[in-house]
Homo-oligomer: A and B are copies of this chain.
Amino acid sequence: MSSTFGKIFSVTTWGESHGAGVGSVLDGCPAGLAISENDIQIELDRRRPGQNKLTTPRDEKDQVKILSGVFEGKTTGTPISFAVFNEDQRSHDYSEIQKWYRPGHADLCYDEKYGFRDYRGGGRSSARETIGRVAAGAVAKKLLRQVAGTEILAWVNSIGKVDCGPLNLNDLTLEQIEASPVRCPDPEASAKMEAEVLEARRNADSVGGTVCLLVKNPPKSLGEPVFDRMDALLAQAMLSIPASKGFEIGSGFAAARMHGSEHNDEIFFDGNVYRTRTNNAGGSLGGISNGEPIYCKIAFKPTATIAQRQNTAGRGGENGTLAARGRHDPCVAVRAPVIVESMAALVLADLLLQQKRNFLNSADQAFAD
């Protein structure tokens, strides 16, 4: 079940980088949601490679097919099966990568865990596995938008030493983010980040980065204490993305340097709902959404596979060197935002379906025939 995520609204992904294809099965989606292959394709196009010179030249159309669960344009409440068939499987020579373990990569761990591995590309640990997540995430996003008017945005916050400048989160739009080749809505920082990525490529190297997540108008009361706290599930979701090394919500690590009197967000009643004047909580208290925007940051390490020669060991136990060929993004963060958005949407949609407004008077409505 380790390829299945979510308790009610749950996705199961399948596929390897160089197999016949990749995809997922989304179970537990309410019936009656209008979904087309185009809704999915729009999101997949944001993560697919070959978009510009900053990403891998591997060119995949990543055309998605919906094989079940949608009838006359609407979800039926039965499992939705997504498939993307791999095109660009040029059979180049894998002998080196088969023999020598890539430093920083999962090759060795897969060999030791499973006894052998699909050595063509990253196999199951490849970022192509996330296609199935993005497809399901597109449905989750639509559900959240329709049921609660929720909007989910992610962007690149830093690459290497270059940080994004201050943003007005209220006005931030997807267009501003996608307008940047590195998906950073700050034009000045975007240009510097682009240079950082290109320099890494010139040096046959790679570079890390951070991605920020913002959920506007999230449903209230999401999160099931104690282990399915919203922030705990978001943390699991983000650390399940290849190359991620860290997660923080709201004030995050900065909170550890603060006093309670600075950190506590003042509560007030605006005549209609309870709000807070600041949002150090990042929209989560006690692991339950309080209705304020959800704000998180995720750290991505530099791509492990680089072209410059590195010391490493081989399958037979010999020590030697490897200069990895193959086509890889110099910075995974650039294509990460849509994956981050998708995982957040999957977490929130599942919690939404679990949130029973757990007291009986409204439960009555919920279960009324």
Contacts and interface: CB of A to CB of B under 8 A. Distances in A.
Interface string A270-303: 0100101000111001111110000000011111
A27 interface: yes
25 contacts: A31-B359, A31-B360, A109-B286, A113-B220, A115-B357, A115-B359, A147-B364, A160-B258, A207-B260, A208-B259, A219-B369, A231-B239, A231-B245, A239-B247, A245-B249, A245-B282, A248-B299, A260-B303, A262-B302, A264-B304, A267-B311, A268-B312, A269-B319, A274-B317, A357-B366
> How many copies of this chain does the complex contain?
4
Nearest to A112: B221
Interface stretch (A38-46, A61-69, A168-176, A178-186): A61-69
A313 B267 contact: yes
A14 to B, nearest CB: 4
Contacts of A220: 112-113, 369
A353 interface: yes
A158 to B, nearest CB: 6
Contacts of A19: 67-69, 71
A155 interface: no
A76 B129 CA distance: 15
Interface residues of A, number: 166
A81 interface: yes
Given A207-B260, A246-B249, A65 B20 contact: yes
A356 B30 contact: yes
A342 interface: no
Main secondary structure of the interface of A (DSSP, over half): mixed
A24 B368 CA distance: 29
A187 interface: no
B74 A116 contact: yes
B22 A2 contact: no
A246 B228 CA distance: 16
Contacts of A368: 362
Contacts of A74: 116
A141 interface: no
Contacts of A28: 1-2
Nearest to A333: B256
A50 interface: no
A365 B366 contact: yes
Contacts of A15: 67-68, 79, 81
A305 B265 CA distance: 12
Interface in A314-369: 317-319, 333, 352-369
B358 A30 contact: yes
Nearest to A281: B104
Interface in A75-101: 76-81, 83, 101
B301 A258 contact: yes
Interface string A233-246: 11111111010111
